[in-house]
Each structure stands twice: as structure tokens, then as C-alpha cells.
Amino acid sequence: MAIFGKDEAKRKQSVFSPEDLQKLPRHVAVIMDGNGRWATKRGMPRSFGHKAGVEALRAIIRHSSDLGIEALTIYAFSTENWTRSVEEVSALMGLLLEYFTRELDELHREHVCIRILGDISGMPKGLEKQQAALYAAMDKTRENTGLKLNIALNYGGQQEIVRAAQALAKKAAAGEIVPDAITREAFAGELYTAGLPEVDFLIRTSGEMRLSNFLLYQCAYAEFYKTDILWPDFDEAAYDEALLTFTRRNRRFGGV
Ligand code: IPE
Ligand code: IPE
Ligand code: MG
């Protein structure tokens, strides 16, 4: 069954006026938070919440694509999430693999370009299959011109910045660049997000108001939005409401 129904898309787009559609963010970033609490509230194990969370993600990816959003970056797993139980980590990674194998063809048909942000080469043993599936997804969709879907996985914003600094320091030490060549553009070019537009809009679900090490460099002028909705309940209507809020923000970038 096609997940990107065009008639459905038209109906959904109708909450936006033509002017609103012009003002949608180019790059949306989402901290998908609250899966565990969603499950606990139902007396279920946390992995049940992650399963529901993946379904919510599918809908948000589809809706972003239908709305013509240029880039969507989602926080799937942080460098700090390894501190969770082995059961929870493997349930999450398993769901991810399942998601990729199940949806890849469909995403590819819809011209979605998948990029992984984070150090997936450094994953612990036992996750080789997952790693291979992710590399395959990136390879297969690399040239696609539709939605740029960036999955932050084993991602840490501080680690990303340090990694970029190391890469530039190595180039300088090797005499390939002079220190003055380390401009903001050069620095951004060493981040996982190289070539993507700046983040315009950052959404966090579940009521928390913190960045949790997400896109620290890229969110310099991002508009923040928080909702108390737990991630598995964050549907197209909730996303539309968030996007509509964005269209009414007055971004000044330090000006007046
Ligand atoms: C977000 O939900 C999903 C990931 C971190 C992968 P949580 O698992 O953090 O859910 P809560 O915040 O404990 O409710
Ligand atoms: C952020 O959520 C990470 C992801 C959504 C993948 P967390 O639940 O890990 O963040 P904290 O621990 O509440 O800051
Ligand atoms: Mg959380």
C-alpha cells in the first residue's frame, strides 16, 4: 500500500493557506521524546512505546514530503542513550532495522534522500546487520532529490563539533590549510549536516525544554517549539499546528 497518498496529501495541505505554504521552514529538526512515558502510562514495557514511536515517525516523514519540506532531521538515538538497559537499546535498534528494510523501497520511490548523522561505524558488536542496512539505505538514496531525511543515530552535538575541529586541525597540521581558512563555512562543511540548510524549526515533544546534545551548532537561529504531546501521539494534525506556529513567528536574526 502506498504510504504517500496524493489525495490525502491535498486534503491535509488545506489547513495551510497559499501564504502559509510559502512560509514553511526549509529545515525541520525533531526531538522525538516521550516514548517510554507513553508506554508506562499504558502499563506496557518501554519498547512498546518505541514501536508506536516508529509508526508516528512514518507519518511525519510522509507529511513532510507531501508538504514539500526540504529537510527533516530526526533524533533517533543519542550518544548518551547507550546508558539505557541492553534490552531497551536492542529493542530500539531492532525496530530501526525493521523500519529501514520495510520502508526503504517506498522512501526511495518517493525520492527521499537518507543521510545518517552520527558515528554508526562505532556501534557495538552484534549490530552489524543494522549498520549494513543503514549504509545500504544511504547508498541507495544518495542521489534522490526529494525530502532530505537525516537520521541522527549514535549522535552527539558536542562530539560532532569536536570531530569537525579535529578534522580541520589535521588538515592544518598537514599544511593543507592555513588556520585562517577555518571559517564558519569551512567548519560547517566538516559537520554531519554539511550542505544542508540551517535548521529553521526545532520541535520537541513530551514537554521537555532542553536540547539534549542535539544539533548544537546548527540551531544557532532555529525557532523552538515544545508540545506536551508524547511522541507516539504526535500526528499530522499536531505537526500542522506546530508548522502553523512557525509561519507566524517573527525571525529577526539579531536585526530589528
Ligand atoms: C524518545 O523517547 C526515544 C528515544 C530516546 C530513542 P524516550 O525513550 O526518551 O521516552 P521517555 O522520555 O523516557 O518518556
Ligand atoms: C533525546 O531524548 C534523545 C532522543 C530523542 C533520541 P532523551 O530522552 O534521551 O533526553 P533526556 O535524557 O531527557 O535529556
Ligand atoms: Mg526521553
Task: Give the structural domain span for 47.
Answer: 23-156+198-222+237-248
Measuring from each residue's beta carbon to the nearest atom of ligand 2, which residues come in under 6 Å? 31-33, 75-78, 81, 208, 210, 212
Q: What is the pLDDT along the chain (256 residues), one digit of tens a residue?
A: 445 555 555 555 579 999 999 999 999 999 999 999 999 999 999 999 999 999 999 999 999 999 999 999 999 999 999 999 999 999 998 898 788 788 999 999 999 999 999 998 877 778 888 888 888 999 999 999 999 999 999 999 999 999 999 999 999 999 999 999 999 999 999 999 999 999 999 999 999 999 999 999 999 999 999 999 999 999 999 999 999 999 999 999 999 9
| Catalytic residue set | 33, 81
Considering every ligand atom, which ligand is closest to the CA of 50? 1
Q: Which three cell numbers stand for residue 222?
A: 532555529
Angle formed by the axes of helices 6-13 and 46-67, nearest 10°: 80
Q: Which three cell numbers stand for residue 77?
A: 538515538
- CA-nearest residue, atom 11 of ligand 2: 212
Report yes or no on 187 lying in a domain. no
SS3 208: coil
Report yes or no on 177 lying in a domain. no
Q: What is the pTM of this model?
A: 0.94
Q: SS in 3 state form for 51-102?
A: HHHHHHHHHHHHHHHHHCCCEEEEEEEEHHHHHCCHHHHHHHHHHHHHHHHH
User: Can you tell me which atom of ligand 1 is nearest the CA of 76?
Assistant: 6
Side-chain-facing half-sphere of 40: CA atoms under 13 Å: 5
Measuring from each residue's beta carbon to the nearest atom of ligand 1, which residues come in under 6 Å? 32-37, 53, 77, 81, 92, 206, 231
Total number of domains constituting the chain: 1
Report yes or no on 10 lying in a domain. no
SS3 126: coil
Report yes or no on 61 lying in a domain. yes
Report yes or no on 161 lying in a domain. no
Mutation to probe ligand 1, out of 30, 31, 33, 205 (largest number of atoms < 8 A from CB): 33
Between the CA of 33 and the centroid of ligand 2 the distance, in Å, is: 6
User: Can you tell me which atom of ligand 2 is nearest the CA of 77?
Assistant: 6
Report yes or no on 192 lying in a domain. no
Percentages helix, strand, coil for the chain (3-state, rounded to 5) are: 50, 15, 35
**Whether the Cβ atoms of residue 201 and residue 225 lie closer than 8 Å to each other:** yes
- CA-nearest residue, atom 14 of ligand 2: 212
Could you count the other beta carbons within 10 Å of the beta carbon of residue 196?
A: 19
* Residue 59, domain CATH: 3.40.1180.10
Report yes or no on 12 lying in a domain. no
Strand partners, 153: 77
Report yes or no on 42 lying in a domain. yes
